[in-house]
Structure 1
């Protein structure tokens, strides 16, 4: 359930970012509150990844202001990074390591004490069904197994904010159910989840609040129910309507006709 306090955890004010002549973000202004699960969606090139990389401190040069828990991103990015767990879409594991070695590396980067880190890593790997693979080299792992290790690396330091970029990639049906339940439980614990995905049905189910970005601007912001009342019956239809992709059905027909 959404837990909104008087003060937002994340404040974004007039956030803009350009690459040469191309403007990727246009004066984004957002307040995000503790315990919210934010579904952040938009077409490719809309500005999703740039927003996430600024929020996680990976892109330091931007215009505007980003404040997390009262700390200014431009002034103290390292302090903000300690509060965030990030699972990127296309992460590269050091797959010559074992899960325990990799999580030891990540946990120490976050300043965790070794004994506590080792115990938590074992418990999390067991909980994700990798208890029998603690000391196996990850170059033997399936994509789904590697994704589970990445997910653990994003939460092992018990961060206040968790940024998940396509976190279900490669996971089987049971693991997907587990991650959905985990997101709800983390939210109940007061964690703020920033969830980026193209899987609209999952975004519908896990998000308290959905932000739709298109061409660098937020074009929709609300619960799924409120967006449905104002626009369409499904999130896919809302997405198509607000991003100018309602012609998809016609494009599909053209492809089928080309096969005749």
Structure 2
């Protein structure tokens, strides 16, 4: 479970990037995180993962405070950032072994997991190539493989399907469903509303740093008394008009 309690973030000036955000992301569900560009999604995720400090409030991962107990919190989540352009001068296999070393994945299990994940994502034959030679989609796949290597209980995914080919996107969605069904947390942001509508058990909608809605799609339609698609409800909900 992820608990976000009364979190603020201000980049300067009077307008807060995140304004008193309180949100509980439960175990056993896929939660979609929605909002227009600049709504505060990536800022929230970067605070959740310890990339950015909180100005106020607390965030805990299965009871571990991301600021008070960062090492314990970071051991139990995996984070896919919105840009996969990292560790470009490493070979794919070196990057995965580096991640395995950080999370102390045993050598025998590590090799098995690396082979399984990279064959599923069709990058096994490229593991001895440098990541800087990879396409955007291949870089996304190597980052996702690294995140899943230590089998974290909590998945935090920022636009994880961007750049993936249809087969790999399908495989990742199946993995997300299985992980949640096993009682774990899957929290992901996306601009693909059809994917969210198809995949998510619940959604959280943010705009201008404030939480507008959190619940199931049926609850959203009931709240706004409509049978429209998620796209229409979302556009109405986040309209500045």
Cα pair distance change 1:228/1:61, threshold 3 Å: closer
Higher RCO structure, 1 or 2 (CA under 8 Å, sep 6+):
2
Q: Secondary structure at the match of 1:238?
A: helix
1:241 aligns with 2:236: yes
TM-score, normalization by structure 2: 0.92
Q: Distance in 1 between matches of 2:178 and 2:171?
A: 10
Q: Distance in 2 between matches of 1:194 and 1:64?
A: 20
TM-score, normalization by structure 1: 0.86
Q: How do 1:180-199 and structure 2 match up within 5 A?
A: 180-199=173-192
1:204 aligns with 2:169: no
After superposition, give the CA deviation of every residue in 1:4-44 in whole Å (9 maximum; x if it has no partner).
xxxxx222211111111231111111222211211000011
Which structure 2 segments of 5+ residues have no match?
none
Corresponding pairs, count: 238
Q: Distance in 2 between matches of 1:111 and 1:62?
A: 32
Which structure 1 segments of 5+ residues have no match?
1-8, 247-260
Partner of 2:59: 66
CA contact (8 A) 1:87 1:165 kept: yes
Partner of 2:92: 99
1:17 aligns with 2:12: no
CA contact (8 A) 1:100 1:122 kept: no
Partner of 1:121: 114
Tell me how far 1:245 sits from its aligned partner.
5.8
Question: Runs ≥4 in structure 1, deviation > 4 angstroms?
Answer: none
Q: Secondary structure at the match of 1:23?
A: coil
CA contact (8 A) 1:100 1:118 kept: no
CA contact (8 A) 1:104 1:114 kept: no
Partner of 2:143: 150
Higher mean alpha-carbon deviation, 57-66 vs 131-140, is at 131-140
Partner of 2:102: 109
Q: Distance in 1 between matches of 2:16 and 2:120?
A: 43
Q: Kindly report the root-mean-square deviation, in angstroms, between the aligned alpha carbons of the 2 structures.
A: 1.7
